[in-house]
Structure 1
Amino acid sequence: MPGGPPPVLTHGNLVHRFPRTDIRLGRYHRLDARSLNYRHRHDGAQLLPVRHEIPIPILDQEDLVRQGIDTSALVKGAVKVDALGSCTANAGTAALAFLLGAGRLAEAGLSATDAKVCEEYAIRLYHDETAVDGISGTWPPDDEGSSGLGIARALKKRGLIGGYVHATTADDLASLLQNGPVLLGVPWFQAWFTPDADGFIDSGDWASSQFAGGHEVLAIGLDAVAQNPDGSVVPEQTVIRLRNSWSRGWGLAGEFRLRLSTYVALRRYIDAIQLKAKA
C-alpha cells in the first residue's frame, strides 16, 4: 500500500494519512483503541438482503460553482473553490439524514429535495469536523481531508447523534448493515473510479491498478448475502450496496456495489462506523 501500511491497532491511537491523487479523495485512517469497547458483534443470526433509503438527494462534493455554492460565503476564512475533499462529511450528512428521517430533516437544516442545501450543510460540517478530528490542519485553509471517526465525533459534539459503534470483521459489518447504514472509510484505487455495467467497482484485476487515495462512502445495505451453517458470512457471495458523493451521474445513479471479499482483502485499511440516534 503506497505510503506504507498502517499497523494493527492494539493500544493508543493510530492516524494513517493516505496520499491522494484526486481532490475527490480526502480520508485518513484514524483509529482509537477506545473504539474497541464499542464494537458490534455478529451473533450468528440469519442475515437478509437489505436496503436503507436515505431521505436526501445524492450529493456532489465537486462542481460546487455549477451547483451555485460559494464556499467563501459558508465558512469564515474559506476561499471559493469548485471541489472539496469532504467525502467524510458528505457520507456523514447522508448517515445523519437516515437517523433523522424525512420528518425531521428541516429542523436540522437539511432538505429532502434540495441537493444544494444538503451539500452546503455538508461543507459547514466538514469545517467543524476538521477542528475536532485529532488530525493536524483545519479547513479552512487546509483541505487535507478527515476521518470516519472525525465525522462521528463532530456530529456527537453537535448533539445530533447519541453515539456510534464499530465493525471490525466481515461478519460484524454484514450484521451491522441489518440495522442501518454504515460509514465506510476505504483505500480507493484508480480502477474504482469507473464502475462496471452492474455497478461493481472491484471487477477484474483492480488490485493491480494504481492506488489513488482514501475515500469515505456510506454502505446502505446488502444486495446479496450468503452464510455458512455456523452463521458466518460467505464473503465471495455477499455484496454491499454503497452511496457515493460524486453526483447522480456517477455509477448507478450515484451508488455502487462492492464484494465483501474485497472488504476482507483490505480490512486492515478500512474503518466501519454506524451512527446511533439520540435516546
Structure 2
Amino acid sequence: MAPRSHATARQVRLGTELRRLREAAGLKARELAELLSSTSAQISQVELGFAGVSEERVRRLAAHCACTDEALIDILVAMATDRTRGWWEEYRGVLPPVFLDTAEAEHHATFLREVVITLVPGLLQTADYARAVYAYMRPELPESEVEIRVEHRLNRRVVIEGDNPTPYETVIHEFALRVLVADRGVALAQLRRILEQVEEGHAVVRVIPVDQVGFAGAGASMMYLGGPVPRLDTGLRDSPTGVGFDHAEAQLEKLRTLFLKVKSASLEPVASRDFIHRLAKEL
C-alpha cells in the first residue's frame, strides 16, 4: 500500500498510540518489524500515520508488545479499520485539513468540555456571528471562502444536535457574550441562540461574570474531548496561529485541572441561563 500524502489527526493519533505500545514494551522499530515480518520503514510509516494497518497486524503488534488492555486494543482496531466517510469529507481539498480534523475529533468524542473567554464557542455560533468572526480574522479571504467556513461551522452542530448527541458543557466568560462582533442585532440573535441550545438540552452553559473575584484565566480557552477510553482523550487549543491537539497524559491532566478550576469560577447552569436572559434584555 502506497504511503498517504497527508495523514489526518485521527490517523496520526492511531500511529502515536501504536508507537506508545512499542516503546512501553522496550522494543525498537527494527525489533518490532522483525516480529511482524515487516520493515523498520513500514513501522515508521504506520507510527507517523502515513500508512494504514490491518486489524490482524494491530492485534499481533499488541500481543508482541504484551498489551493486555482488550478495550484499548479493540478501539485501536476500530480506528485502523474505520472506512466511514463523515460529512466533513465533503470539504477535503476545499478547507484546510485542521477544519476536517476538528470535526472528526468532535464526531468520535464521548463528551465535550470547552472554555471560551473572548468569543462564543463555535458549536453555539449563529451564521451571522461566525461570518463576522471569519471576515474580521481573515480579511484577505473572498466572500465565497468565508461562506464555506461558515457552512462548515454550522454543520459541526450535528455533534450536539443530531440523533445521538454528544454531551457538551461549556464555560463562557461574560466578555464573550457582550462583545459586539458585528451589530446589536447579531449579538441579540446570538444570545437567543445560546438560550435555545440550553433549553433544548443540547448544551450545558456556565457563565463567568466579569466581576468574578480572583479569576485570572483569560488565556484558558480550550476544548477537552473525551475518548472511548481515558487514554484516548484529546485536548484541543485554538489560537490566532492555529489549532493544536494535545495527547500526552501530562498535558491532558493540565487541561482537566484547568477546566475544573475555570468551572469553579462560573455560575451554575440555571443562574447562567438567567444571566444570559438579562444580557439579552439589555440589548
If asked which structure has higher relative contact order (CA below 8 Å, sep 6+), I would say 1
The answer to whether TM tops 0.5 is no
Higher helix share: 2
Structure with the bigger percentage of strand? 1
Question: Whose radius of gyration is greater, 1 or 2?
Answer: 2
What range is the shorter-chain TM-score in? Answer: under 0.3
TM-score, length of structure 2 as denominator length: 0.25
